[in-house]
Structure 1
Amino acid sequence: HVVVLRDGTLAGTLAKAEINHDEMVRLMIGRMLKEREKAGEATRAPGSVALSANALRTSTYPDRPVSLELRRAEILGLAGLVGSGRTELARVLFGIDERLGGSVTLDGKPLNVGSAADAVANGIFLVPEDRKLTGIL
């Protein structure tokens, strides 16, 4: 069973048999996607790997290595419950916290980010959870 909320109100529900991509999108955005938009998404080839993290370990979860690849033209959002490690991963990638292990590459070249200034110099930016408390721009 799926329940979709949009702008703080109930947009609709779908029973298990009704769940499909088009209906989910319709409930989430309030309209059907145009065929042209769907066709463009289907034919777009994945971009080359821009950023790759392999077995990255953080001080908060040293026994839970994380690997991911971010491809060109993709938008990456880290989501999870409080305590899931998403903030710690972002802080390590941005150079705020120390990386305990693993490797990071940017455009296929090893990347060692030791500070936020290093990250920005390499084109990596972070929008923190609490922009008023921890954001600088």
Structure 2
Amino acid sequence: MSIGIPDVDEEHRRFISRVNELDAAIAARKDRREIERLIQDIIHEARSHFDDEERLLAERGYPDARLHSAQHARLNSLLWDVLRMSYAAESGDDWAKKGLLIKQMLLDHFQLDDNSYRHFLRQPPAMVAR
């Protein structure tokens, strides 16, 4: 899942670590407050990561930067929707399902959407400007 940009790759590794924490909490059947906290942390970190990534794409002149930003906005909205739905959940199992949905949405974004700019950002800046 490496993009080849150290800062972005490090943020992705941190995300995977956070998602693994969420997985572990779900597997251990932690109470819903713990799962809620982990989900909220992941969503807040996602917004920060999206901002960093959008800044990088704009600085490097990525031609689809606006599209990628729109993907981030959509994903951020979906993440918050899932969290809001979780508040209506009656059981810890419902919270666990929502946590797994958030995990899958983020992993899909990293593997599919972020992969779309990988080749572009790996080019030396002088080549990109041509």
TM-score between both structures, scaled by the size of structure 2: 0.23
Structure having the higher helix fraction is: 2
Quick one: higher RCO (CA 8 Å, sep 6+), 1 or 2? Answer: 2
Structure having the higher strand fraction is: 1
TM-score between both structures, scaled by the size of structure 1: 0.22
